């Protein structure tokens, strides 16, 4: 049976969530998840480099076949939106250098794919991720849960005909 490993990414400057999910046949299996954190007390460029280096370590450890990242959407705070956009650029570069195909989904696409509704709150998304991956507890923190949800979305949206 063919297996595909997907790396889901919830981008951010302070917190970048990641989740690794295997798909084989109709089965999903959580491999790993976590959060790459950077401190606001660090120099901006140092924080971006830390995201790059830690994501590269995740890639080296888990060897994903494909990646998913949450698309940037409208934000009220322009400065935080720019910081997220910079983090997304670093993440995109890291994946491109490793020749890992990247697909992006909006938050509403992810919520709909995982829960069936675009109006789901964070707790509902976490509960569905727990159910879909057959976990004992909801994945925490929410950045990691969002990354797992993104990986699940990619599997459901892009891979059915290839498994």
Q: What percent of the chain is modeled with pLDDT above 90? A: 83
Give me the pLDDT at residue 114, please.
Answer: 95
d(CA 13, CA 47) in angstroms, rounded, equals 7
The structure tokens listed for 65 are: 């076949």
CB 136 within 8 A of CB 147: no
* Mean of pLDDT values over 63-89: 85
pLDDT of 80 over the 90 cut = no
CB 15 within 8 A of CB 143: yes
Task: Encode pLDDT of 93-140 as tens digits.
Answer: 999 999 999 999 999 999 999 999 999 999 999 999 999 999 999 999
Catalytic: which of 22, 126, 142, 143? 143
* Mean of pLDDT values over 34-39: 97
**143 in catalytic set:** yes
d(CA 9, CA 26) in angstroms, rounded, equals 22
pLDDT of 20 over the 70 cut = yes
> In b/e form, how buried is each residue of 94-121, taking b as 16+ CB within 10 angstroms?
bbeeeebebebbebebbbbbbbeeeebe
Task: Return mean pLDDT, the chain.
Answer: 92
Catalytic: which of 68, 70, 126, 142? 70
Give me the pLDDT at residue 162, please.
Answer: 54
d(CA 59, CA 135) in angstroms, rounded, equals 23
**70 in catalytic set:** yes
Catalytic: which of 10, 66, 68, 142? 10
pLDDT of 75 over the 70 cut = no
**66 in catalytic set:** no
């Amino acid at each position: 049976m063919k297996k595909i490993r997907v790396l889901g990414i919830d981008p951010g400057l302070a917190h970048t969530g990641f989740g690794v999910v295997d798909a084989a046949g109709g089965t999903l299996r959580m491999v790993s998840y976590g959060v790459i954190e950077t401190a606001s007390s660090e120099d901006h460029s140092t924080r971006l480099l830390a995201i790059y280096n830690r994501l590269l370590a995740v890639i080296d450890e888990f060897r994903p076949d494909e990646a998913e990242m949450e698309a940037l959407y409208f934000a009220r705070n322009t400065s935080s939106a720019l910081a997220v956009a910079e983090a997304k650029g670093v993440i995109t570069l890291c994946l491109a250098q490793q020749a890992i195909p990247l697909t992006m989904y909006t938050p509403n696409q992810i919520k709909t794919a995982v829960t069936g509704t675009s109006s789901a709150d964070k707790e509902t998304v976490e509960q569905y991720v727990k159910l879909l991956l057959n976990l004992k507890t909801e994945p925490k923190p929410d950045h990691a849960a969002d990354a797992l949800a993104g990986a699940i979305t990619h599997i459901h949206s892009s891979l059915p005909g290839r498994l």
